[in-house]
Structure 1
Amino acid sequence: MSKLKILIVGASIAGPTAAYFFAKAGATVTIIERFPHLRINGQNVDIRTSGVTVMRKIPGMEAAVRANTFDLDGLCLVRENGKPYGTIKTSGSPDQQSLLSEYEIFRGRLAAILYDFTKNNENIRYHFEEQVASIQQEDGIRAVKVTFLNGLQPAEYDLVVACDGATSRTRAIGFHCGVRDHIFPTNCWSAYFSTKQDLIHGSRLGHGFSSIPGRFMSVEYNSSGGNIVNMTMLHPQSAHNATAALREAIAQGDDSLKQYLVSRFYNHGWKTKEVLDELLKTDDLYASEVVQVKVPSLFNGRFALVGDAGYAPGFTGTGTTLALTGAYILAGEICRHKGDVKAGLASYENTMRPIINEMSKVPPFVPSILAPQTALALWLRNNLFALLAWSKLLEYVQRFFGSSGGKTSEYPLPDYHWEND
């Protein structure tokens, strides 16, 4: 396999992970990223089950992740007056997690950790501010011909891997489809930013508040000072093209996006006025819609998809785990087949499909529980949650709703023998 040349598109979580294991298999890897530098903003993500297994296969990564996880004691849900009525905490075991993960970390920090583990590898080269312009494959021809938009010279690769997210431009090129083809909306979006002021007075418990229709806001401790805010909105499932206005605001820039968020949350209640004041001053706003990606195949010829580009799971909270797992399995299966890309891709598909199907299952009623649409539904949700917290049953119930995370032992992964070990 040592002669294989791999092109990876996307320098976030899936891309560097795949590069790390391809390099262990003896391949030379080029990673391109359309942004001029590594993106270090974004939402909090968590690592579960098979993702924990993959993390532990990269020496030093678990310690680096633990050093950068959220310093939180849990998340308490509060009423309009700020009084809590129930608290969600971690299980205390990384191998049997609940709704909150033991490895809760900002997406940007995790991306930076993986970048640091790969940037000095002699078999891996990064090129920022670059995109794929075209991908040409011919039947019976081993090489994939790739041209680029911003100066990188055309080149031939044995495999091209798209790791550039749910709205992957590279997927559209490699699969000859539209950017939004294979995307299944959930009618939900989330926005994240940091505040300068500490709105929860040093509490290590995050505070979460819901209002109708379908709005949720959390304010959490930030070790750098101030808070981290999440604003999520779930539109009714019957709504058509519900996230179009958000996408348009994102395309128009931060000022437009801020005004859109203010218009959706201005009468939310609780600490909303203070939060929106901070929103208008922030410089690290990030927002995206929550979607599922479902493709008929994870590869086309010598072009493959990893992570959200191929299987964004939506509400389940397993996107990061799937990205780590898919990157490991893709590199491992091609290594196991001695560099036979065709056979390795077929094995990648067969190995990943059951994992994708299981981790993409949304537990019943989760959307309506997370973000009720009516006053009655919100009242029922809040009081049921309060009852579960009072009765001490909440720990067991939240493990059920976190079951897509499950036990690490329920998702065993193959052990691969890498050429460069």
Structure 2
Amino acid sequence: MNARVVVTGMGAVTPLGNDAPSTWQGLAEGRSGVGRLTSIDTTGFDVAIAGQVKDFRLSEVVPESVGLRHLLRPGAFGVGAAWEALQDAGVDRHTYDSADMGVAMGACVDRPDLQWLVDVGALRDRTGRDDAFSTYAPSDALAYSQNIAVATMARMLDATGPVAGLSTACSASGHSIGEAFRSLQEGDATLMLAGGYDSLTTWLDVLCFGLLGALTKEYNDDPQRASRPFDGDRSGFVLGEGGVVLVLEELEAARARGARILAEILGYGTSLNAWRITDSPPDGSGAVESMQAAIADAGLAPADIDYVVAHGTSTQGNDLSETVAIRKVFGDDADRLLVSSPKSMAGHLTAAAAALSMFTAIGAINHGLVPPTINLDTPDRRLDLDFVPNTARTADVRHVLVNAFAFGGTNSGLVVGRYEEER
């Protein structure tokens, strides 16, 4: 079976806005959501900025009856985005049989907050109590399970179909959308919630990414200029956080219920670099294979792609590797491609990054507008594509390739297209 798969709803909680419309508006305006880090005390840190979600309260968005008690910060973003996506699609637990609905989400594995562990250790040292941990309910451990947010989303629908939480770092939500696409293509489900959520803005994450040399340290006093993919003065990425979720449905079922169709998922490809843990290979390998596989799976040629939503992190090596890879895949067609990176505005949403890129692609298709790569002020002669610098571009966008690459060398490529009744 090779069913057609369409997108019927979207939700977003990002540094650019606490819902999908405001997130799209931020992308279209080329507005930065990067600012001073407020979730931790950055005294003594080399990095003091991030793209953070602002003033989001899950209980004001999602009914308490859904069960929100054990959700930590990243899961709350994901559940909030999932609820919005379901409302946007006009879907609830009665739309399809429970066994025909499922969830696939990209997320990092949650862990106990280290400040919480420090506080417990201090309590034990101060009181001499060996049972210092007993002041916390055993059920609190549930908050640190990656499955809790995914299970909460499934409960929204009483979904008992395919359920998966994928942790492939910065390509996780690309893989989750791709695997949901496969489940629907193959008839294992009729509806899937797919996307990702993450929040690596703890002091441990900021410290560790900083020690790796991955984060820019040069714009603490001018945070909105910090994330600058493909710019000659790029010096590292900016951490972000948020959740972006799509409702994917089998086409005939969506048509039968009169759903509004936003776009069609056409192709999915994956690969592994097998090179270095943190760096992309200079020759673009791995990225080349995932892009080629996605385009071929869509039944298209490189000449059919109008726009590439780049992984575009703002690191020296990744941006060069991705540019080389795009040139290898598209050849002479690379010169007429539009390429841009939403990370220039939102920062790097890590496990949710590819879902934000897919959201960007679908917005471009529906609005005829390609969001820019902001802060692209100083050309790098090695990076010679049209990165849509600083200002959004009006364009007739029919097919989009979405790239996602990750530490460990995992890559995903997705092709999404304008919905056409006959394809």
Confirm or deny a common fold (TM above 0.5): no
TM range (shorter): under 0.3
TM-score by length of 2: 0.23
TM-score by length of 1: 0.24
